[in-house]
Amino acid sequence: MGGTDSVSLKRIVFLTVGTTSFDALVKVADTLEVKQELTRRGYTHLLIQMGRGTYLPAESIGEDGLLAVDCFTFSSSIADHLSSASLVISHAGSGSIFETLRLGKPLIVVVNEDLMDNHQSELAEELADRKHLYCAHPQSLHQVIVGMDLKSLLPYQPGDATPVAKLINRFLGFPDD
């Protein structure tokens, strides 16, 4: 993305909507308000993975201290993008959420209110209550960015499937490992 000596100063915000269409989030991320707040916070780049959405954000190379904005639809793996991000803004899909948390990246989950039966918000809210991430709606994203204190987020300990395996083995009569 240009600028060899600015590599160490690059602070990327990675926004991902997974395989969904979440124009409301992409649109709000594209507003001057949000971009200015991200710049004020020291971020230099906003990379938007827009999935099946139809709204195209305005791309920018980020001159004069403005946020550089880039976007793409899909990639086979977002792991690299997550790894190089300083902040992740994600839709409420459990895959995205846990992939990000396992990498120890600060995360803002934005819930899509247009989805019917929005059980996804339960997961985001629960993890926010446990202080592992911030939770927002598209309209409150700016406010959340303004008020966030990333140092206050608690690291997420990866899950462990061995309790389930133990129960299954015991039920089937296998000896304990």
Q: Does the protein bind other proteins through residue 118 (CB under 8 A)?
A: no
Site string for other proteins, 89-108 (x = CB under 8 A): -----x---x---x------
Single out the residue of 160, 100, 110 nearest to residue 132, CA to CA: 100
Which among 20-28, 30-38, 103-111, 164-172 is the span making contact with other proteins, rule CB under 8 A? 164-172
Q: Does the protein bind other proteins through residue 148 (CB under 8 A)?
A: no
Q: Does the protein bind other proteins through residue 77 (CB under 8 A)?
A: no
For residue 4, count other CB atoms closer than 10 A to its CB: 5
13 forms beta bridges with: 46, 87
| 59: DSSP letter | P
Would you give the end-to-end CA distance of the chain in angstroms? Answer: 51
The residue (of 62 and 93) whose beta carbon lies closer to other proteins is 93
CA distance 159 to 131: 16
Q: Which residues bind other proteins (CB under 8 A)?
A: 94, 98, 102, 116, 119-120, 122-123, 125-126, 158-165, 167-169, 171-172, 174, 177
